[in-house]
Structures are given as C-alpha cells and as structure tokens.
Chains A and B, each alone.
Chain A
Amino acid sequence: MENVLLVTIFMGTLFFLLGTGVWVGLALFGVAYLGLEMFTTRPAGDAMLTRIWTSSSSWTLTALPLFIWMGEILFRSRLSSDMFRGLAPWMARLPGGLVHINIVGCTIFAAVSGSSAATLTTVGKMSIPELRSRGYPEYMIIGTLTGAATLGLMIPPSLTLIVYGVTVEQSITKLFMAGILPGILLASLFMAYVAGWSFVKRDEVPVITEKMTFAEKVKESRFLIPIVVLILVVIGSMYGGWATATEAAAIGVVGSLLLAALQGSLTWDAFVASLLGATRTSAMIALILMGATALTLAMGFTGLPRALAEFIGAMELSKFSLLMALMVFYIILGMFLDGISSVVLTMAIVQPMVMQAGIDLIWFGIFIVVVVEMAQITPPIGFNLFVMQGITKHPMGYIAKTALPLFAIMVGMVFIMIAFPELATWLPSTVKNASGG
C-alpha cells in the first residue's frame, strides 16, 4: 500500500459524507468518483456509469423488487389481523404461554417479508394490545418482539441476503437455504428463553383457562394456513430446483395476490399502495447498490482490499479471531448504519479477506446477517428500536434493555455457527440445481 495518505483521504471522505447525513448511495458514489480520480488516470465518470448500468440491469437482481412486493401485499392483507387469533390456540399450552406468539408470528411473517421493520410492525400491531390485555409483563412483550423481528433478515426471502448474494456473486437460492436452519434454531432459542422465564418467574405468567379441541384450533387458524402453504411453495420451489430465486419471487407475488383476492382484502387501493411501496423500497436499495458498485470499482484501484487481505494473511490470525474481530466491527458499524448498507459498504474489503482465510462465502453470508441483526437492536441507531419506539412510545433505552437477553442469545448463536458450520452449509449442499439462470 504505497499511497497511505491518499487511502486515508479516501476513507476519511467516505466516513465524513456518511456521518454528515449524505444519502448512503450517493455518498458511496461520490467517494468512488474521488477514488478513481486519485488513483487512476481513467475517465472516472464513464467507467462508473458503465459498471453501474451492467449491475443495475442484472437479471438476478429482479428477485429483490418481487420479494419486496410480495411482502407489501401480504402486509396489507388480513394476514396481519388474523395472525394472533390463528396462533393463540396453538401457543396457549406452551410454558410461557402467548408470548410465544411474538416469536412464531415473527418467524412466519419473516418468511413472507424480507425485512425486520415490516415484521415488527405487522406482528407488533396485533400482538402488543392482546398480550397487554391478558396481563403479560411489558418487558417480556417488548423484548421478545424486538429481538424476534430480526429473524426477518435471516429467514428467506431475506433482502439482506439477496443484496449480499448479488454483491459477492453467490447463488441466492443457496444463501436462502443456508438461512433456514440457523433461523429456526435461533427462533427455538428465543422460545427456550420464554419457557425459561416462565419457570423462573412463575408468578408473572398469567393463567389461561380456555381449552379448545383440535378441530376448533384448525378453524381458528384457517386464514393462516394458506399463508404457510404459500411459504412452503415458494421455498420448496427453490429447494427442489423447479424455480430460481427470481422465479420463486414471481410465484410468491402471484400467490399472495391470489390469497389477498380470495380473502377479499385486495382492493384497488391496497394493490396500488403495495405496488408503489415496493417500487420505492427497491429504488432505495438500488441506489445503495449503484453506489456500492462504483465504490467496489474504485476500491480495487486503491489496493486497499488486497493489502488488508495480505495483512490479515501475514498475521496468521486464526479463523476464529478474524471472525470475532469482524463481529465487533459489524456491531459497531451497525450502530450507525442499516443492515443492507453495512453489508454492501464493506464487502469490497471484507470479501478478499474472508476468502484469504478460507471461509466459505455462503456460510459467511449467514454469519454476517446474524451480526447485522444484532446491530438492529443496539443503540444509538437500531432500526428495530426506532420502529418499536414508534409503536409503543417507550424510550429507546428501555426497549434496548428489554431486548438485551435476546441480544445475548444472538451472540451465542454466532458461537454455535462457528462450532457447527454445517448448520448453514448442509442444506444448500443438498439443493437441486435449477434449470434456468
């Protein structure tokens, strides 16, 4: 790395622009321009635009707006309002009772929507009032919800994983499959926490007396069952190799439109709102990706990624200490940036480092998602904290404190993944290859 001063200016400008509130995508774009001007004699603007056009018109990327759209449709359907009623009969007998609805509800909604804010809003709106009225303690309601909503980033379809897959050029189907088992395990650990709480603080758990027969339970959850079937079809079509991630997303959109129409909740207004919402959100992510594409191009010329990879190689760090360092790094970064931005911003530098250390990129995708998820519930900037504050009006510090046990569980999850990497790598290795694209 010959140009230490130039690299310092380059990175300094990046953090200055981001820190002063310039939009993430544009900040990356601007710094890329600066970098190309400083480190090369190539015409910067032309090189950037060629690269941006190629990446923006990529076929793989189309999975992104479609999965967003699917989430937007179901978000506006009866799914949200019927979820509590549908889940309650099944959860009532578990130790810890209806608090489990927060976790199972988040897991199900995470499987139709790729983001944690949507998951949190949808599940929170219906479960908070119901749980309060039944006398569950506030800190358990808020904490489990805030923590479990982060599953949205992990359980397929996950927007963060699509963006990661496009950035490091890995199969999105494989990344999705890799997220399933760790996602389910994490949800189970959260549920174990709730069960543990119910044994330790027996007096805080309200007693539920109502009993239902199996048939009544099924009847209560009749609106939920079609959604679960849709999820299984979308994920199954990818797993079985019948559809690529993009095609599965299209199946998801068509399926959710049909479901919403059958339930009678697909009004013209809801359709237009879902379409426009999906258009805006995907344009937001597209702008970040455009900036990141340009930055990756510029980063290559700075020599920074190679130098860092060699540096890490020379230090002969064990995989474990490298991953620990990255975990701390991403938690700090995630305190200020959202998940998708932190992933695309760092990949140009982190990818060579990780490959040098011989870490599997699919596994690393899940690792990075868990770590970014943790950052969503850490102050000062955690998106889930913001959303939760909006719903409950509790101060952010209180919300963060209630979610602290779940944060600890996620840290534990990272160690479990390092100890048993097969959790993430086994399922993708059994996927049948899709015939197209």
Chain B
Amino acid sequence: MQAVGKILRPALDKLYLTSGIMASLFLILILLLIVAQMVARWTGSVLTGAPDFTGYSMAASSFLALSYALNRGNHIRVSLLLNVLGRYRRYGEIWCFGVGSYLAIFFAYFAIKSTFESYRFNDISQGQDAWPIWIPQIFMCVGTVIFAIAFIDHLFALFTTGNHRIDEETLDANAE
C-alpha cells in the first residue's frame, strides 16, 4: 500500500501541476491571439479563424485548470455548515467530496462521450476555422478526467488520513 503511494503521490501531484501549467500557457495563447487580431485589423488584414481559436483556448484553459484550482482551494463553496460541524466536520467533508467525485466522474464521462460523438459524426466547427470540433474538445476530456481523479484523490485521503489535501481558505488576489 505504502509502496504504491510512494510512486503514485508524486505522479499525481505532477499531473495536477502540469495541467495547471498547460492551462496557463493557453491563457498566454489567448493574449497573443487577441493582440494578433487587433494588429491585423489595424493593418487591414484578417486572421481567418482566429476568434474560434481564441474560444478554444479559453475552453482548454478553463478545463485544464479545474483540478489545479481545486487543490489550491479556489473553487467557491458555502462552508457555513461545515464550520459548525466542528469535530464531525470530517463526515460533512466525506459527503461533499463523495458528491463531488460522483459529479466529476459523470462530467468526465459525458465529456468523453460527446467528444467521441463529434469525432464519429465528424462534426465540423461552425466558425471560419472549419476544424473538426473533436480536436479542441480533447482538452475538455483531459481536464475533466484529471478533475475527477483529483476528487477521488481527496476522497481517498479523507478516508485514510481523515483530511482532504486542499490548502483551505487560500485567498487569491482575485478570489472575490
């Protein structure tokens, strides 16, 4: 059991961080694409499909960062009741992470299913890019699958160590 943990733990942490970093690279891509579009417009040329690629980058960035944001305690929830629970908080957390794991798995399953269907029916983007839609949708699958893994990871930790692994209440500059 511990041997598995020794290999799995760093591997999982690396997975979350990597997807977070990829998400932030897509954020940089969004910036570059928008600046390119502006420059193109000023100089009188048009970047075909650039708005569509910006949208895909937005989706890719959001989905890939889901698990990273979860681990850093960014996702918002109402913790009023959990705080009242005191030493029984653990049971409340098990409920939350249980429901969370279930919904995240559900999310990932249907993300994969809808991407597979885009692939099977060869859905082409409505925009000017005319790309097969399953290509950008891959990032939705990857992101939601890692999100589900992260939830199961926390739920497992709750059962074994009695605590989830989120750095709770880290207030980021922009976390409202």
Contacts and interface: CB of A to CB of B under 8 A. Distances in A.
Contacts of A122: 173
Interface in B142-168: none
A337 B78 contact: yes
B1 interface: no
Contacts of B113: 45-46, 49
Interface stretch (A18-26, A97-105, A183-191): A18-26
B3 interface: no
A23 B30 contact: no
Contacts of A338: 76, 176
* Interface residues of B, dominant DSSP: helix
B78 A56 contact: no
A283 B110 contact: no
Interface residues of A, number: 81
Contact of B114 (A33, A49, A387): A49
B79 interface: yes
Interface string B81-111: 1100000000011011001100110110111
22 contacts: A18-B78, A26-B103, A30-B99, A57-B55, A58-B58, A66-B30, A251-B38, A275-B28, A276-B21, A277-B172, A280-B65, A281-B74, A281-B173, A284-B69, A286-B65, A286-B66, A288-B76, A341-B76, A381-B78, A381-B80, A386-B171, A387-B171
Interface of B: 20-21, 23-24, 27-28, 30-31, 34-35, 37-38, 41, 51-52, 54-59, 61-63, 65-66, 68-70, 72, 74-82, 92-93, 95-96, 99-100, 103-104, 106-107, 109-111, 113-114, 117, 136-137, 140, 171-176
Interface of A: 17-26, 29-30, 33, 45-46, 48-50, 53, 56-59, 61-62, 65-66, 68-69, 71-72, 75-76, 113-118, 121-122, 153, 159-160, 243, 246-247, 249-251, 253-254, 275-284, 286-288, 290, 336-341, 380-381, 383, 386-387, 390, 435-437
